Structure 1
Amino acid sequence: MPELRVGAKLLQVAEQANLLDALLVGGIAVPYSCRAGSCHACLVRCLAGEPLDLQPEALAADKRAEGWRLACQCQVGGDLQVEPFDPQRDGLAARVVGLDWLSPSVLRLRLQPERRLRYQAGQHLLLWSADGVARPYSLASLPGEDAWLEFHLDCRQPGAFCDAARRLQLGDGLRLGELRGGALHYDADWQARPLWLLAAGTGLAPLYGVLREALRQEHRGAIRLLHAAHEPAEHYLAGELQALAAEHAQLQIELVTAAQLPAALAELRLVSRQTLALLCGHPTTVDSFARRLYMAGLPRSQMFADLFLTRM
């Protein structure tokens, strides 16, 4: 049986065992969230040996060259020595500079990193609480314009990170993990094309950043943003969005509840084959967005989606 070494601990594991499972069974505290290679909470560095990586493209080439792997996507094929990502050693320090409730369930968290972080609208970042809980969150801030990193935390359901976030105070420290580029972005070549932004819940966060990036780049095509929330009080950026619409004639804002969403989607009509759609939220809602857009005539290749996966 292959041997898996972590620090002074030596584990005997079955060949082809999932690396994350082997670590957890062996009592090694490795955080994880999606188990799909998306959140990057389960980063480990290989010090000796090489696991079978089922999703090598999920990590940037420079990270792979440094030995980093996603434990959830690796199988143990031989003797292996790894060290889990240590937020104190490997992460970037950040300080809480803003905390406020945008709605009964959405907490806006603003962080100031100890050094400037280069990112693009629509990307997401791994946040580590002081007690070692890791969770990926999309950036709602706009680089070059906002002086902080902004995140919108959905606290409707209990969760380890949300519970920790409720206890945060101004000046508290967090650690930042890997910055990830998802499917959501704005391309300058899109300026004349109609743009549809469809969000559910806090899936609005990255699209708010993308929207402001599009407007900053003087997007000329029509922009339609639809936000679906459980109830009217959860349209947590309604004021900001309406203010942007008042300043930009090409921007249309639609705020619908979950009960109103099927009717709103049924009314979607494609006015141009050049339309691009950016979708974000819970997988079930994003799937309903995508199916309706496809039925309306929008090719899948013109849809860009990020899913907010729940922990498995």
Structure 2
Amino acid sequence: MPDVYVGAQRISVSAASNLLDALNGAGFNVPYSCRAGSCHACMVRCVDGAVADALPDALPVAKREQGWRLACQCSVLGDLQVALYDPRLDGLPASVCAADWLGEVLRLRLLPERALRYHAGQHLLLWLGGVARPYSLASLPGEDDFLEFHIDCRRPGAFCDQLRRLRVGDRLRLGELRDGALHYDPDWQARPLWLLASGTGLAPLWAVAREALRQGHTGEIKVLHVAASDAGHYLADALQGLAGLAVEQVLAEHLDSALAQLRPTSRQTMALLCGSPSSVERFAKHLFVAGLPRNQVLADVFVEHA
């Protein structure tokens, strides 16, 4: 049986064991959210030895060259020495500059200890009390001097319970910054741009919409936001305040009828989708049936966690 060393501790595991399961089974409490290689919460650094990595392209080349791997995607091949991600050493400190409730959604604004280079549509890992969760950035670099996140905290959970107690001045750590499918391309400037979101899937699309307007987008920009209740339309006033957007707010129970009326006027339309898996699937299916090519439909799915 291979031995896995974590600092001075040794655990024996079965060959081909999932590394995340092996570490957590031994009590190391490596955080995770999706187990699909998307959230990056379970990063560990392989100091010596090799693993079978099912998703080698999930991390940037620079991170991989430093030995970082996603434990959920790795199988143990032989003896292995790993170092766990320590947000106190590897994370970027940030302080809370605002924590406001917009209907059912917590709008969290953070000031990082040093400037963070990012673009609209990216995700960032937040560490709080030893628990990590990934969230999309809703802020716009170059305009906002803070990092903004929109977080659904209605349900109890290890992370959300701590978020509800945050106050201005409290500190947390920022982990891995990564790309998703969502972004704004200047080459789209004259093309219709549709932004379809459910729940807090609106967060990255709020940033993308503002980026499009900043870059002088001349085509139509349509925003469709689906929520379970009127209170779930948490950016209603802010969206209406942006000139150049056509905004439609839809209750989830009326989504089918809203989609039936949604017909692209141009085959050049770019559609960006974000939200729960079921919502994104319904958005995408409708757009494909309506004739949009698949390479013009970009989607990020939000993993449910608390």
Q: Please give the range of the TM-score, normalised by the shorter of the 2 chains.
A: over 0.9
Q: Does 1:133 align with 2:127?
A: no
Determine the structure 2 residue equivalent to 1:290. Answer: 284
Pairing 1:170–2:164 present:
no
The aligned amino acid for 2:219 is: G
Partner SS for 1:265: helix
How is 1:101-180 mapped onto 2 (pairs within 5 angstroms)? 101-103=101-103, 105-129=104-128, 131-180=129-178
2: CA distance between counterparts of 1:219 and 1:159?
Answer: 40
**Rounded Cα–Cα distance in structure 2 between residues aligned with 1:16 and 1:44:** 17
Q: What's the CA shift for 1:310?
A: 2.2
User: Aligned residue for 1:68?
Assistant: 68
Structure 2: runs of 5 or more not aligned: none
Deviation string 1:216-242 (CA, Å, 9 cap, x unpaired) is: 000011111000000111100000100
Q: Which whole-Å CA distance do the structure 1 matches of 2:210 and 2:277 have between them?
A: 24
Displacement over 3 Å in runs of 4+: none
Cα distance in 2, alignment partners of residues 198 and 156 from structure 1: 22
Q: 2: CA distance between counterparts of 1:88 and 1:125? A: 16
Aligned partners of 1:89 and 1:35: how far apart in 2?
24
Deviation string 1:94-145 (CA, Å, 9 cap, x unpaired) is 0000010011x2000000000000000010100001x111000100000000
TM-score, normalised to structure 2, is: 0.99
CA distance in 1, matches of 2:231, 2:25: 43
Q: Relative to structure 2, which stretch is displaced further, 110-119 or 258-267?
A: 258-267
1:144-185, Cα deviation, whole Å (9 max, x unpaired): 000100000101211211110101110000100010110000
Identity of aligned residues (%): 65
* Distance in 2 between residues matched to 1:63 and 1:237, nearest whole Å: 36
Task: Compute the displacement of 1:296 (Å).
Answer: 0.5
1:29, 1:7 → 2: CA distance? Answer: 15
Corresponding residue number in structure 2 for 1:5? 5
Per the alignment, in what secondary structure is the counterpart of residue 16 of structure 1?
A: coil
The secondary structure found in structure 1 opposite 2:303 is coil
Give the Cα–Cα distance (whole angstroms) in 2 for the partners of residues 311 and 100 of structure 1: 20
CA RMSD of aligned residues (A): 0.9
TM-score normalised to the size of structure 1? 0.97
- Whole-Å Cα distance in 1 between the matches of residues 280 and 14 of structure 2? 38
How far apart, CA to CA, are the structure 2 residues paired with 1:219 and 1:52? 45
Q: Distance in 2 between matches of 1:133 and 1:69?
A: 18
- Mapped pair 1:278 → 2:276: no
Say which SS state the counterpart of residue 197 (structure 1) adopts: strand
Q: Does 1:306 align with 2:305?
A: no
How far apart are 1:63 and its partner, in Å? 0.3
> In the alignment, which residue of structure 2 is the partner of 1:220?
218
Q: Deviations over 1:185-227 (max 9, x none)?
A: 0001110111110000000000000000000000011111000
Q: How many corresponding residue pairs?
A: 306
Matches within 5 A, 1:84-95: 84-95=84-95
Shift, 1:311, TM fit: 4.6
